[in-house]
Amino acid sequence: MVKDFKMSNSNPLSGGRVTGWGTALGKNVVTNHDLASKMDTSDEWILERTGISERRIGGTTADLAVEAAQKALKVSGCSATDIDLLILATTTPDDQIPATSAMVQHLLGLKCGAMDLNAACSGFVYSLVSGFGMLALGHKRILVVGSEMLSRVTDWEDRSTAILFGDGAGAFVLESSDTQNALLGWELSCDGSLRDILHAEIGGTVVMAGQEVFRKAVIAMTESARASMERAEVTPDDIAYVIPHQANIRIIESAMKRLDIPFDRAVSVLHKTGNTSSASIPLALVDAVQDGRIQEGDNLLLVGFGAGMTSASAILNWGKNND
């Protein structure tokens, strides 16, 4: 019998903070009305079931990653040569070989190691936790990016999936710190026995058992979030905002209810981005930073799930040097 794998911290990693952030979206807007003109659906049907009004498509995984990363570097005040490692979360690499992170490294002018990480829609949190781990091992600055071209693996004639996905990227610069500890708790999980409910063959498109994914996703998100909160020694009342994977508004509503956190504390950009896989959490978080919702000292719960089936969560304290 295959058992699911879980990794979590008994003590939080120390000495790291987020100092830069940036996002990018595909340049072409595809509205629900656009889709309704090509298949048997409607704006009302899509919006009611998913919370999505439009999605953005276009570009390449590398190009979107570079745009988001350049913005993050500018916010942080770092130069490309200051970065010690690039971690690129993606399920949609531009090439099977080499890793897309190699092209991103080249285009940004980085002089450091680079690697892709594929944990599907949980990938950004996996990469974020890995980045903090590398800081604990001695690196000074880590660039973490989630970038996806899901339009590349979408069957645009399949109503059940074509309405969901978009293209985008989000990036964080992480820096070591002697005085701040942004990562308070984290949890990473995977249950490979659930591979068939959400997958795409090499060269194929996404196949999804929607109802089963919904049920498993809500359970996985709430269990992961509770584990991170327990290890960070915080309660739902201590969480200022939840930054969930932007997959479906009904999944977010159900997870928030199970976590006993008011829905108005969930950050969502789903209506204007669609599901952007590993890019969705940074897209939502940066949106809330830029509009002033997230303030100094806020505890943020990042939580996601994805194909695999993976799940991941992290508690971040948005410190005084993060704004």
Overall average pLDDT of the 284-308 stretch = 96
Together in a domain, 163 and 192? no
**CATH value at residue 50:** 3.40.47.10
Together in a domain, 157 and 34? yes
Whole-angstrom CA distances from 99 to 69, 95, 121, 209 are: 17, 7, 18, 29
Active site residue 245: yes
Query: Which range has the worst mean pLDDT, 2-11, 15-24, 35-44, 159-168?
Result: 2-11
Tell me which of 9, 32, 78, 121 is the catalytic residue.
121
Write down the pLDDT at residue 14.
54
Together in a domain, 35 and 165? yes
Write down the pLDDT at residue 322.
52
Mean pLDDT across the chain: 93
Assigned domain for 197 exists = yes
Write down the pLDDT at residue 3.
37
Q: What is the pLDDT of residues 207-256, one digit of tens each?
A: 999 899 999 999 999 999 999 999 999 999 999 999 999 999 999 999 99
Q: What is the pTM of this model?
A: 0.94
Together in a domain, 161 and 194? no
Q: What share of residues in the chain are helix, strand, coil (percent, to 5)?
A: 40, 30, 30
Q: What would the DSSP string read from start to end of 91-157? A: SS-S-SSS-HHHHHHHHHT--SEEEEE--GGGHHHHHHHHHHHHHHTT-SEEEEEEEEEGGGG--TT
Query: Which range has the worst mean pLDDT, 176-180, 207-211, 260-264?
Result: 176-180
54: containing domain:
16-176
Tell me which of 275, 299, 317, 322 is the catalytic residue.
275
**167-176: strand order across its sheet:** 16-25, 167-176, 141-149, 85-89, 113-117
Write down the pLDDT at residue 210.
84
Q: What is the rounded distance in angstroms from the CA atom of residue 125 to the CA atom of residue 259?
A: 19
Write down the pLDDT at residue 224.
98
Please state at what angle helix 43-50 crosses helix 249-259, rounded to 10 degrees.
Answer: 20
In the predicted structure, residue 86 carries a pLDDT above the cut 90 = yes
Write down the pLDDT at residue 180.
79
Together in a domain, 170 and 187? no
Write down the pLDDT at residue 181.
83
Query: Which range has the worst mean pLDDT, 117-121, 175-179, 196-200?
Result: 175-179
Overall average pLDDT of the 133-140 stretch = 94
Tell me which of 9, 32, 245, 322 is the catalytic residue.
245
Together in a domain, 91 and 221? no
What percent of the chain is modeled with pLDDT above 70? 94
Assigned domain for 2 exists = no
Together in a domain, 239 and 171? no
Cis peptide before 115 (omega within 30 of 0): no
Together in a domain, 162 and 189? no
Active site residue 322: no
Together in a domain, 20 and 131? yes
Please report where in the chains the tokens 């594929």 appear, as a residue. Answer: 118
Number of domains in the chain: 2
Position with higher pLDDT, 206 vs 1: 206
Active site residue 275: yes
Together in a domain, 93 and 133? yes
pLDDT tier, 320 (very low <50, low <70, confident <90, very high otherwise) = low
What percent of the chain is modeled with pLDDT above 90? 91
